[in-house]
Amino acid sequence: MTKNQRPKSNNLQWVYLLGFFVILALPLLNLPPWFSPPDWGKTIVFRIVLSILIFVFLYQILNSRGQTSTRTNERSKNADLYGSKADLYGCKLPFYLLVALLGIYLLATVFSLDRNFSLWGSPYRGGGFVNFAFYIIFALLAFLILEESDWQKIWDFAILIGIFVSIIAILQQFGLISKIFIPFETRPPSTIGNPIFLAIYLLLLSFLALSFGIKESSKKRFFYFFYFLLFVFVILITGSRAAYIGLAIGILYFLLFYPKQLIWLKVFILILLILGIFGVYYLNTHTTEIFSSTYILNRPTLAALLERFTIHLLVIDPRFSGWQVALKALKDRPILGWGPENFSIAFDKYYDPSLPYITKEWGSWWDRAHNFIFDISLQAGIFALMIYLLLFGVLFWQLQKLKHTDEHRLENRSTQIVAHGIQATFLAYLVANFFSFDSFSSYLISFLLIAYSLHLLFEQEFSKSQDNRSGFTRISRRIYADISKWRGVIIFLLFVGLVWFIWVFNIKPLEINSQINLARHLVNNEKCAEAISTMEEILPKKSFLDSYLRLKYIETLDRCEKELKIDLTKKKIEILKKQIKIQPYYTRSWISLGSLTNVLIESETNPQNIENLKKEANYYFEKANLLSPKRQEVFIEWIITDLLTGEYQKAKEKAQKCIDLNSKLGDCWWQMALTNIYLGENEKAKKNIEIAGEKGYPTNSEISLLELSRAYFKSENYSELTKIYHELIKINPAYEEKLKPLLKELY
């Protein structure tokens, strides 16, 4: 069977190609307020376009009328086009693994602790099961729909978009056209939104560009080589060490295991590897000399990039501590995990501030493990991780077999080079994601690569098959006989479902999010009244963004409180109470509720009201402590409740727990010092204030001095109170008029 006998284009192929081109152009999309955060806007457009393609695909299937066309005389029939691929031939296992991955993520979502959040995720990440399912469907559709002649167009277009993304990164890096593209002195994000995500996105395109350059025999090959070098250059300026390691592993594999025996090239690569190791060693053993160089000092970009290769950054990397927390959480729910997007729930429960570099001062709130092994296993369980690894393993092995197929069985020897490039890409991608995680752009290209791998494997096996009738065609004929009477109704219902899905789950949330972004813009321009009015208008609108909307409204009120000079505490509490009903496992909301209740206690004078508020605050902090038992932030705010309500001994016990969890945090020592003052333990208080200062707490700030003045006043320690008043006047002379009568009275 020859290549010319394979299925030809169907009359709607241009619709599919147009849709895929729009989808592959999405990494360029980053236009606030509608399409911000970056991944949010991209996923919305992606879902809309792909859902339309799914409808067109199903419409064609339903209109196939169950033809029994053979491959020899009816190649243009749609049923045969999709039917032949439904037979799968040699790519059954990876195809079914892809479907199984979708199935197990669906199960993990059904049994998720926070099902709604697992379905849709947050605009910050553009994640959630729905988006993940669309990536898999995207890969399946690409495999079933795209023909041999389409794939090169698809990859050329994807590489072209990568070139535009790279050019924008370079413009940002070097401050060119700064009025249009915001300059970044180090680590440009381009339109991807994050330099690490940018690096992994380009990493996925690099080896394919290199492969195309090698297999091309025309002048076009030099352009592909240039694109490869361009992508590598931008990866370098992103400063992503995860991508550096992935790139190095990918290049080593590509060159050392190249299908042809190029001994001299492999020896050269080994020499470069040795020189590279020596270079990193030299950089780390001569750090002081290198970074004190005038040349380096005058080039902050170069200095920042060189610093990424120093060992001390690896030593202080918080990932290793985060992985220890993730391992404990995995043991709790190993089968189906905690649910997609629920890594933060697992992390909070087993968070341990005694581990280095994941404390409050370094960043203690994690929603990703920065490691695909823990991200997948914690979100969907061990079996999901096994399926994921098996999928890439099987594809890698079958591509290896394809490379070593006898020459007379390969229709095009260039297939070997492309298969080898995909293998190198998979290795580089998995290595990079061992220290990072996916974004929309990397998901898009990685699943497209999976579809392309299936296509290459199918094409090779299809050429060997002599079967003249599609199994799919036989099945579709039986199905058509059953549904032929209802075909019109089914198509109508599918169309109604399409319109409903696009409007309710895409257009409407997109409009709500644009208003959220507009409100933030108004706040930044000191137009708080307009910002609050904007948020109030969209607050009643129901969507899967309800929790996110309320959290963003709280941020708006926080920033506007000082400008408008009004107390918005009660308003914020009201909003947060509704938010925790939607997302009850979000620890920070419970802490915020307790903290805001403390503000009400502080201003309340009625003893009964204070008692009721104390019960509320304790309830909120108990919930937060249940969700994250070792979270020092909970104890720090909870201590304030006890101090405000006169529970000084309880406050001291909580302060000691806070210190025991991690004695390096100055906040705990500060709260202990305040507790000492209220209990009349003045010597201990002075010692603990000194320790808090040594551990980085701002003991001489205006807020700290006000807290001390309140404590000394309450404990009737007027000699220390006088000193604090004088310190406050030094910091802010405006206090002099307020404190002068009190100072006279104290004297």
Q: Looking at the structure, do residues 293 and 238 belong to the same domain, yes or no?
A: yes
Domain containing residue 52: 1-87+471-503
550 inside domain:
no
Helix axes 546-564, 569-582, angle to 10 degrees: 170
Average pLDDT in the 661-671 region? 94
Cβ 567 vs Cβ 561: under 8 Å: yes
35 inside domain:
yes
Nearest to 662 by CA among 631, 691, 689: 631
> Residue 34: pLDDT band by 50, 70, 90 thresholds?
confident
Gap between the Cα atoms of 475 and 64, Å rounded: 12
Q: Looking at the structure, do residues 176 and 70 belong to the same domain, yes or no?
A: no
Q: Looking at the structure, do residues 117 and 42 belong to the same domain, yes or no?
A: no
Q: Looking at the structure, do residues 461 and 492 belong to the same domain, yes or no?
A: no
418 inside domain:
yes
Count other Cβ atoms within 10 Å, centred on residue 583.
Answer: 18
Interacting residues of 29 by C-beta distance below 8 A, sequence separation 6+: 35, 38, 41, 42, 45, 191
Segment (H or E) for 22? helix 13-24
Q: Looking at the structure, do residues 294 and 328 belong to the same domain, yes or no?
A: yes
Q: Looking at the structure, do residues 138 and 28 belong to the same domain, yes or no?
A: no
Q: Running DSSP on this structure, what letter comes out for residue 113?
A: S
C-alpha pair distances (Å), 505 with each of 102, 103, 512: 20, 22, 11
Could you say which of 503, 524, 550 is where a domain stops?
503
If DSSP codes are grouped into helix, strand and coil, which group holds residue 189? coil
> Residue 726: pLDDT band by 50, 70, 90 thresholds?
confident
Cis ω on the peptide bond leading into residue 33 (within 30° of 0)?
A: yes
583 pLDDT exceeds 60? yes
643 inside domain:
no
18 inside domain:
yes
Q: Residue 155, Cα to own-chain centre: how many angstroms?
A: 25
734 inside domain:
no
Q: What secondary structure does DSSP assign to 536-569, as a single string? A: HHHTT--STTHHHHHHHHHHHHHHHHHHHT---H
Write down the pLDDT at residue 360.
Answer: 72
Q: Looking at the structure, do residues 48 and 136 belong to the same domain, yes or no?
A: no
* Backbone torsions φ then ψ of 70, nearest 5 degrees: -100, 160
C-alpha pair distances (Å), 485 with each of 482, 489, 500, 552, 710: 8, 9, 25, 50, 81
Gap between the Cα atoms of 693 and 675, Å rounded: 16
Q: Looking at the structure, do residues 46 and 195 belong to the same domain, yes or no?
A: no
Cis ω on the peptide bond leading into residue 733 (within 30° of 0)?
A: no
Write down the pLDDT at residue 468.
Answer: 39
Average pLDDT in the 582-594 region? 96
Write down the pLDDT at residue 736.
Answer: 74
Q: Looking at the structure, do residues 20 and 143 belong to the same domain, yes or no?
A: no
C-alpha pair distances (Å), 92 with each of 88, 114, 136, 406, 455: 5, 34, 16, 22, 12
Write down the pLDDT at residue 79.
Answer: 42
Count other Cβ atoms within 10 Å, centred on residue 396.
Answer: 17
Q: Looking at the structure, do residues 33 and 120 belong to the same domain, yes or no?
A: no
Gap between the Cα atoms of 712 and 680, Å rounded: 9
Q: Looking at the structure, do residues 98 and 75 belong to the same domain, yes or no?
A: no
Q: Looking at the structure, do residues 325 and 407 belong to the same domain, yes or no?
A: yes
Range in 65-69, 385-389, 602-606, 662-666 with the lowest mean pLDDT: 65-69
If DSSP codes are grouped into helix, strand and coil, which group holds residue 70? strand
281 pLDDT exceeds 90? no
Work out how many domains the chain is built from and give that number.
2
